[in-house]
Amino acid sequence: HDELRALWLPRKHVEVWLETSSFARIVTGSLVRCVQKLNGQRTFFVALVQAVKRMNQPYRLGKKVIEVALQVRTSTGVRFAGIDLLSNESPSDAEISRFKVQLEPEDVRAKIRTLQTAMQHSAALFEEEDLRRKEQEEERLRERQEAAREQEARESEEQERKEREREELRRRQAERTADSEQWWLKYQTKGGNKQHEIAKWKARLARFEKIVNSSTAEGEKANAKRLAEQAQAKVEALLAQEQIQEDD
């Protein structure tokens, strides 16, 4: 597999050679990794470039429109592949294993030497291309970071708005129920301490139940539910004590 991998050209290298007069000579005899869709799923295959052909219909390659396609051979026959279908990722061992095209060892080694020599002589082209790609990647990174900051700001603003709405709702509910929550005060001057205590716990129970029914904050809701259960138990205990005293 090592020699076959040495024959492989990534898409970014093919795009660099496309701008040179050596394009056809360099890519012919090399291997490429192509993408195809089968039953809606993306799959990849390795193919041998046999020739460079001109397409009847131009197609877009990045910001350029080109008419060049590759005539490639696979285990199942000959087909045409646009450069936009090539992959930058190295073929997997399984993909290379499925490549059953018979190649002469001498031809393979000669092509590897040709590719190595061409890369050495044209190193400046690839340095320039790598620099351009790095600038593009940095620009995309800046755009993603800016988009993430904007999204974070929108989410923070939305969270603050919801919290303000919840706080306003709690304030209005507190104003509407302030009088009813204090109805137990009438027992301060009559009915004795027992009635006063029962009224106080009933008021607490009512307050906690309102929070349980109105709050959207899970923590606040759970805490209010626990306190409501405690208040309910206290009210029941006081009523039971009062009943015992009345029976006596």
- Complete DSSP assignment for 92-134: PHHHHHT------HHHHHHHHHHHHHHHHHTHHHHHHHHHHHH
pLDDT score, position 209: 86
Mean pLDDT of the chain: 83
pLDDT at 116 over 90: no
- Higher pLDDT: 214 or 184? It is 214
pLDDT confidence of 189, banded at 50, 70, 90? very low
CA distances (Å), 102 to each of 4, 61, 74, 199, in order? Answer: 11, 31, 10, 95
Q: For the purposes of burial, counting CB atoms within 10 Å of the CB of 103, is it exposed (0-12), middle (13-18) or buried (19 or more)?
A: middle
Alpha helices in 122-189 (DSSP H): 123-181
Tokens, residue 221:
């809701």
Give the integer Cα–Cα distance in Å for 70 and 81. Answer: 5
Q: Picking from 76-80, 108-112, 190-194, which range would have the lowest pLDDT averaged per residue?
A: 190-194
Tokens, residue 105:
């060892």
